[in-house]
Copies of this chain bind each other. A is one copy, B any other.
């Protein structure tokens, strides 16, 4: 039983059903009545039903994030909760880890607690295998689903993303213009966001007429010392890079520490660029140049969009925010 069945049976568009569900006033009484009676006939749950009528709302939003110890995700959650509270909503957070089965269980648990909407934080909610995202689509048939840094094209799913592709592409262009030739890209996990960044890296290199050497796009372990060791080993084998781009600031920290032990001058011999503009950036010497993906703006935009959805406004399915290159000591 889902929104499609209701739309088909009532002879109206999915957008119209969605408007009725979200209490939008721009629906004629006649249409609204027809949709509501079809929902009743099909046994669409009274829970969702009541929510659509604006009754019985708990003013509670469910948030899913994969890992609260990740600084980007933790900050996103912080800003989401602050902004929701300002709008009179409380929130529940579930940290699901990275296993698909746990993500599904937690989403089901949140829906059983009658939240008004769910927010999925981080690109780890977008599985490489498309069918694995069906549980998200099925949730969107019950409540609005907001995604941060993930994109699914489906009614009642609203996505806010930062433009990771363009950010990495532009950074390659920028450093190539300084005469850098030997680029590496370090990333930490096989998320959809990593895949997009790698695509930006490859396309940027091609556009700059540069070749990517073997081993130059590297999945790195979760801790700084191990990443440092990997770089040191590569260097011993005679592989020398003059530009290191990363998917996370902590990988750039490892690169700075590696340069220190290898006697490389930053940024003269080696330019290094972090990602996220986290607290780590100002801890290193020199401080990290980085790409700021505006976690605060992403989070506030997501909540603002959600508030409009809950008020029944027609809202675009996708909002894309550009990143900024922050110049500090490791790249110019």
Chain A residues within 8 Å of B, Cβ to Cβ: 60, 67-69, 71, 74-75, 77-78, 81-82, 85, 90-95, 97, 102, 105-106, 109, 113, 224-225, 250, 253, 257, 260, 279-280, 282-285
Contacts and interface: CB of A to CB of B under 8 A. Distances in A.
Contact of A94 (B91, B97, B280, B284): B91
Given A77-B68, A85-B102, A93 B90 contact: no
A280 B260 CA distance: 17
A245 to B, nearest CB: 19
30 contacts: A67-B78, A68-B74, A68-B93, A69-B74, A69-B75, A69-B78, A71-B71, A71-B74, A74-B74, A77-B95, A78-B95, A81-B95, A82-B97, A85-B102, A90-B94, A90-B105, A90-B109, A91-B95, A92-B92, A92-B113, A93-B93, A93-B95, A113-B113, A225-B282, A250-B279, A253-B282, A253-B283, A279-B280, A283-B284, A284-B284
A253 B109 CA distance: 41
A90 B107 CA distance: 11
A86 to B, nearest CB: 11
Contacts of A92: 92-94, 113
Contact of A285 (B90, B106, B260, B282): B260
Nearest to A295: B69
A92 B253 CA distance: 33
Contacts of A69: 74-75, 77-78
A261 to B, nearest CB: 11
A158 B256 CA distance: 44
B106 A81 contact: no
Contacts of A102: 85
Of A68, A71, A113, most B-chain CB atoms within 10 Å:
A68
A105 B69 CA distance: 25
A185 B26 CA distance: 61
B93 A94 contact: yes
A147 to B, nearest CB: 19
A68 B78 contact: yes
Contact of A68 (B81, B282, B285): B81
A253 to B, nearest CB: 5
Contacts of A77: 68-69, 95
Contacts of A106: 90
A62 to B, nearest CB: 9
A74 B76 CA distance: 12
Contacts of A67: 78
A121 to B, nearest CB: 11
A246 to B, nearest CB: 14
B68 A109 contact: no
A284 B257 CA distance: 9
A271 to B, nearest CB: 18
